[in-house]
Structure 1
Amino acid sequence: MINKIKSFLRLGPSRKIIVIQALWISIYTYFLFSFCNRRARFGEKTVPAASLHQLPHKKVNDIGWAIQAVAKYISWKNVCRHQAYQAKLLCDFYKIPCLIFVGFKKEPNKNEIEAHAWTVAGGKIITGFCNPNEYIVQSVYKNKWQ
């Protein structure tokens, strides 16, 4: 635990702020998806072609990194859907356009269907790292800055 605190203290001021934001947002999404699931909205539905219009943004890497760093150390449920929602909230806060993809694929060995959510901002995946070509995209949501 002391090493984690030392690592946090070595971060630059902007990274410390975004880690704290990601931590609070992860707590919020845990309670949101646990108790008020119907209130969680990814945004407005759109078509996948909108992903072609995303420009790089300097905060995108920090948002993805902070969400992954927090997810590594928390003990509560923080699955791809939660992380996609966290990325949407942080992108909204920093006025960064993002898209959230929800897709499905069939696992051939298990004969089961797997659902997955991932976020694309600045033209790259920042949460839910996967090969999007393996999934059949069911829905694409854009935030208000898209």
Structure 2
Amino acid sequence: MAYATLAELKGRLDWELDEDELRIAASALEDASELAASYGRDWPEATVPRLVKTLVLKSASRYMRNPNGYTQSRAGDETLAWSEAHGRDAGSVYFTREEIRLLAELGGRKPTLASAPVSAWGTKAGRRRVGLIPVDYVGGDRFPMFRDEVSPW
């Protein structure tokens, strides 16, 4: 399952691919498509958004141009360097942070804020007066917390 074709990827590269590179390119397209599905959602191939296809092609062509993830190369003294910017993704098919954000939005995964009800340990809702919590001292009475029946605070 690839969201883009090998012919579309070849159109983005400026050299003719040999047999081994064609095999690697097909794998890169599949890997990029799997990543796109995991960051966004699993789109049917027939209805994949154009932007998802573009991002998959961008990621696969980035990998094909630099499969080892080099950031610097020198022929004179055989110097090679890798960047820590992509960490474990260097030398593999990856999406940038912005691309991941776009995929998440396209897949309907927007960051949201949620709340959860919280109660004191050992209390049960509806059994005690609203907003009173038990305190642990001799002759202890219930301590008002948050609100009571009359006022909001």
Whether these two folds match at TM > 0.5 is no
Instruction: Name the structure where helix makes up a greater proportion of residues.
Output: 1
Q: TM range, normalised to the smaller chain?
A: under 0.3
Instruction: Name the structure where strand makes up a greater proportion of residues.
Output: 1
Which structure carries more relative contact order (alpha carbon 8 Å, separation 6+)?
1
- The alignment's TM-score, normalised by the length of structure 1, stands at 0.27
Please tell me whether Structure 1 or Structure 2 has the larger radius of gyration of its CA atoms.
Answer: 2
